[in-house]
Amino acid sequence: MGALQGIRILDLTRVLAGPWCGQVLADLGAEVIKVERPKKGDDTRAWGPPWMKDNTGQNTQEAAYYQSTNRNKLSVAIDISTPEGQELIRKLAKESDVLIENYKAGSLKKYGLDYQTLAEINPQLIYCSITGFGQTGPRAQEPGYDFIIQGMGGLMSVTGERDDLPGGGPQKLGIAFSDITTGLYAAIAIQAAIIDRYTSGLGQYIDMALLDVQIATLANQGMNYLASDQIPVRYGNAHANIVPYQVFQASDRDFIIACGNDSQFINLCTAIDRSDLARDPRFKRNADRIAHREQIISELAHHFKTKKADEWVRKIHAAHVPVGLINDLKQAFEEPQVRERNMLIKMEHPQRDELTIVGSPIKMSRTPVEYKLAPPTLGQHTKTVLGRFLSSDELQKLSQQGVIE
């Protein structure tokens, strides 16, 4: 029994931020009904290759992108642009605890699927809207894309190599950071609203914006600026507030040192046979090392090129200083720690016997995450879900009209 067992969520979202939120809640035991367009479905169904392969090794039309964020959900294909489809959504909303949507601000009102309308039908409904810029402000009506938000929200200004080094310049992250973090914040907000409803007896409206989340997750970099009025710069693989805390090059490959305090720095210097650096007054405290960043990094960089990365990692790890190699995804998935933590899960899929997916990082002792449903095929559960309140004849008629699939 998942922690959210008994909670029904109507998921009208596409692409990443909203579906990510829905998947987190589904992993925790909620029933998540994903509403998709007939024939096409979620946009990410077409975002391949790569595609999932069937048992014979042939490509299916199930995109890996879609599968990354839609497990444990029921797929119901409904055309919400039709009056009949809108009525189906209202019926589902009446029996749901939460509705999540990521349409352009205000656009569901013309369908009678906005919060005010649905709250009259179901006063306990928690309605979460996820947009690029929120429901208010001068850009509220604009679509929001993660790449644009990473740029506007300052993240790219502190990500990437320094301008004075080869390859310098702003960089986006290799994943859609603002999408994923907005999905996580939305899941937190929804659970808080569920808890509030136990005492108030009422639902509420949640307004989540990618740009808001991006600003919030600037974290220490944001406060560095507010505290100093100094605009943070890019440090590449180095850290603005800690030295040494970056990538170094050994004789064969790169590795990372994350030296978080002065004691660790002493242990690091001892482990690599450079105790003289720990005694140097320029490098004794972290503040000193920041002031003399170029000098200490130059000393370490020259020294680390004398041996292979594995040897350095072994020596430094033995000294209890955070250190590690840089893995590609194959190496990351093969890490013994990753395997031991069950971060790769195998599930049955309608088009193949066994599908490997990335598991949830949430580990709970009494209400653990369960993996009940592989990412669904389009409309896989339409008749099952709508059959709760429609007859077989009604379902057939709606299917013939193209309202459902």
Q: What is the pLDDT of residues 330-340, one digit of tens each?
A: 999 999 999 99
pLDDT mean over 47-64? 94
Can you give the pLDDT at residue 117?
97
Strand positions, DSSP E, 78-159: 98-101, 126-131
Bridge partner list, 355: 347
d(CA 23, CA 15): 12
> Hunting for tokens 């709970």 — which residue is that?
364
- Give the chain's domains with CATH numbers: 8-216+364-400 (3.40.50.10540), 245-325 (3.30.1540.10)
Model-level pTM greater than 0.85?
yes
- Which residue is listed with tokens 């049955």? 348
Tell which residue, 311, 317, 304, has the closest CA to residue 267: 317
> pLDDT at residue 164 above 90?
no
- The H or E element that residue 8 is part of is strand 8-12
Per residue in 111-156, pLDDT tens? Answer: 999 999 999 999 999 999 999 999 999 999 999 899 999 999 999 9
14 closest CA partner among 58, 69, 86: 69
**Is 310 a catalytic site residue?**
no
Could you tell me whether strands 51-53 and 59-63 are parallel, antiparallel, or unpaired per DSSP bridges? antiparallel
Return d(Cα 68, Cα 19) in angstroms, integer.
10
C-alpha distances out from residue 330 to 311, 334, 346, 360, Å? 22, 6, 17, 18
Rounded Cα distance between 60 and 49, Å, is: 10
Alpha carbon distance 233, 160 (integer Å): 10
- Give the CA distances from residue 138 to residues 84, 109, 110, 116, 208, in Å, rounded to whole numbers and listed in that order: 34, 20, 21, 22, 16
How does pLDDT run across 58-108, given as a tens digit for each residue? 999 999 999 999 999 999 999 999 999 999 999 999 999 999 999 999 999
Report residue 212: phi and psi, to 5°: -60, -45
- Residue 105 burial by CB count (10 A; 0-12/13-18/19+): exposed, middle or buried? buried
Strand partners, 168: 161
Say if residues 34 and 99 touch (Cβ distance below 8 Å).
no
The 10s digit of each residue's pLDDT in 279-305 is: 999 999 999 999 999 999 999 999 999
Name the catalytic one among 179, 273, 276, 353: 179
- The average pLDDT across 311-333 equals 95
Crossing angle for the helix pair 177-200 and 17-27, nearest 10 degrees? 50
The model's confidence at residue 190, banded by pLDDT at 50, 70 and 90, is: very high
Which residues have a Cβ under 8 Å from the Cβ of 1 and sit 6 or more positions away? 29, 367
Q: Residue 180 pLDDT > 90, yes or no? A: yes
